[in-house]
Amino acid sequence: MALTKIGKEGITGISNSANATAITIDSSERVLMPNNPVFFAYRASVSPTNSIIVFNATYGLNVGSHYNTSNGKFTAPVAGSYAFTASTLANPVSITRINFRQNGSSRGAQARLDGGTLGGYAFGTIQVILSLSKDDYVEVFGTTDNGSTDVYSDSTPFLTFGGHLIG
* Domain positions in the chain: 1-35, 36-165
3-state secondary structure of 116: helix
Burial class (CB in 10 A: 0-12, 13-18, 19+), 102: buried
Q: What is the pLDDT of residue 21?
A: 63
For the segment 13-72, what is each residue's pLDDT rounded down to a tens digit? Answer: 555 555 556 677 777 777 766 668 999 999 998 888 889 999 999 998 999 999 999 999
pTM of the entire predicted model:
0.79
pLDDT exceeds 70 at position 86? yes
Q: Does domain 36-165 have CATH number 2.60.120.40?
A: yes
pLDDT exceeds 70 at position 118? no
In angstroms, the CA 47 to CA 51 distance is 8
